[in-house]
Amino acid sequence: MTLRALLVTTLAVSTLVAGEASAHAKLVASDPAANAAVAAPKTVSLTFNEKLAPAFSTFEIARADGVKIPVKTTVSKDRKTVSGAPRDRLAAGAYKVTWRVAAADDGHRMDGVVTFTVK
């Protein structure tokens, strides 16, 4: 193998490995859907593209005025969905779901927000 071929191969392999290492859990679906206007949901679910570390994956629900709604979250058996049921029925108004998750494979933490409105 020539030096040039060896360098090209090494660069290609290192790029591939770096690409795999930089994968992050991405939100792929939510129920209620982002920005949706819905009847009061009994549960809220967030689904990600890869397995999560349950101990570091959760969300909070808050009204538009910032008041937090008590919710206990759980991670599904396939470890890709975080779900929670609000303790009380959600009243009409705007809500913000603030999520924090960690990828199971590398522990990388991600966070984000999904909003929805209860009619």
pLDDT tens-digit profile, the chain (119 residues): 554 544 444 444 444 444 444 568 999 999 999 999 999 999 999 999 999 999 999 999 999 999 999 999 999 999 999 999 999 999 999 999 999 999 999 999 999 999 999 99
Helix or strand or coil: residue 80? coil
Phi (first) and psi of residue 32, to 5 degrees: -65, 155
Q: What is the DSSP letter of 23?
A: -
Which DSSP category does 119 fall into?
-
pLDDT at 118: 98
pTM for the predicted model, two decimal places: 0.81
**Residue 23 pLDDT:** 66
Question: What pLDDT shows up at residue 113?
Answer: 98
What pLDDT was estimated at residue 24?
86
pLDDT confidence of residue 89:
97
CATH topology classification for 24-118: Immunoglobulin-like (2.60.40)
Domain ranges of the chain: 24-118
d(CA 40, CA 117): 9
90 in Cβ contact with 38 (< 8 Å): no
